[in-house]
Amino acid sequence: MQQLISTWLESIGEDPARDGLRDTPRRTAEAWAYMTRGYQQDPLAMLRSALFEATAGQMVLVRDIAIYSMCEHHLLPFFGVCHIGYIPKNHIVGVSKLARLADIFARRLQVQERLTDQIAGAVMEALDPEGVGVIIEARHLCMIMRGAEKQNSRMVTSAMLGSFQTTPAIRDEFLQLARLGASA
C-alpha cells in the first residue's frame, strides 16, 4: 500500500521524497488499516458475546452513536449519527455492543443505504427481537467538498424490520424517540 501511495503522490504532481511527505505513505497505510478495520471483525459474533436473557417488551433505543465511514464511490469520508432501536423478545444485548456494531459496519467502504440495512439486519439476526429500527443521519464529503458542493446537506436513511415495519405506532414511537434532542 505504501508504494501505491507514493505512486499516487507522484501522479498528482507531488514529490513523495520531500520533507513533509517522506513518511506520508506509511502513515496513510496505517490510517487506512484503522479506518477499514471493520473487515476484520465479525458483527454477529460480537453481538452474541453479550446477549442476556430478558423478557422486556418495551423499546430499547441507543441514540446519537457517532459513525465515521468512507464512501465507496469517491473514497471520501462521511460521518454522522446512528440511532438503533429494538423491542426484545427473549434477549437484550449489552448497550455498548450496539455502538460497536455500528462501528464495525461503518469501518468498511460503504454507501449509507447499505450501512443502515446491515446494522438493522445484524440486530434482527443476533437478537431475534420483535422488531428493529435504524436511522442514520450523515454528512458526505463527496457532496460537500466536490460535485454539488452543498455544505449544509445531510443524508437520512432508515431501515425498519419486524414490528417497526408492520406496526405504525411502534414506528412512530421510534421516530419520535430518535428525534428527541436532535438538531434540526
Q: Is 91 a catalytic residue?
A: no
Q: Is 73 a catalytic residue?
A: yes
Cβ contacts of 13 within 8 Å, gap of 6 or more:
none
Write down the catalytic residue from 2, 14, 41, 74: 74
Q: How far is CA 138 from the centre of its chain?
A: 9
Write down the catalytic residue from 3, 30, 40, 72: 72
Q: Is 71 a catalytic residue?
A: yes
- How many angstroms separate the first and last alpha carbons of the chain? 41
The one-letter amino acid code at 76 reads L
Write down the catalytic residue from 10, 40, 73, 113: 73
Question: How do beta strands 91-93 and 60-71 pair?
Answer: unpaired
Write down the catalytic residue from 82, 110, 140, 173: 140
Q: Is 82 a catalytic residue?
A: no
* Cα angle for residues 136, 170, 110 (degrees, 5° grid): 20
Write down the catalytic residue from 82, 83, 112, 173: 112
For the annotated catalytic residues, the residue numbers are 71-74, 112, 140, 142
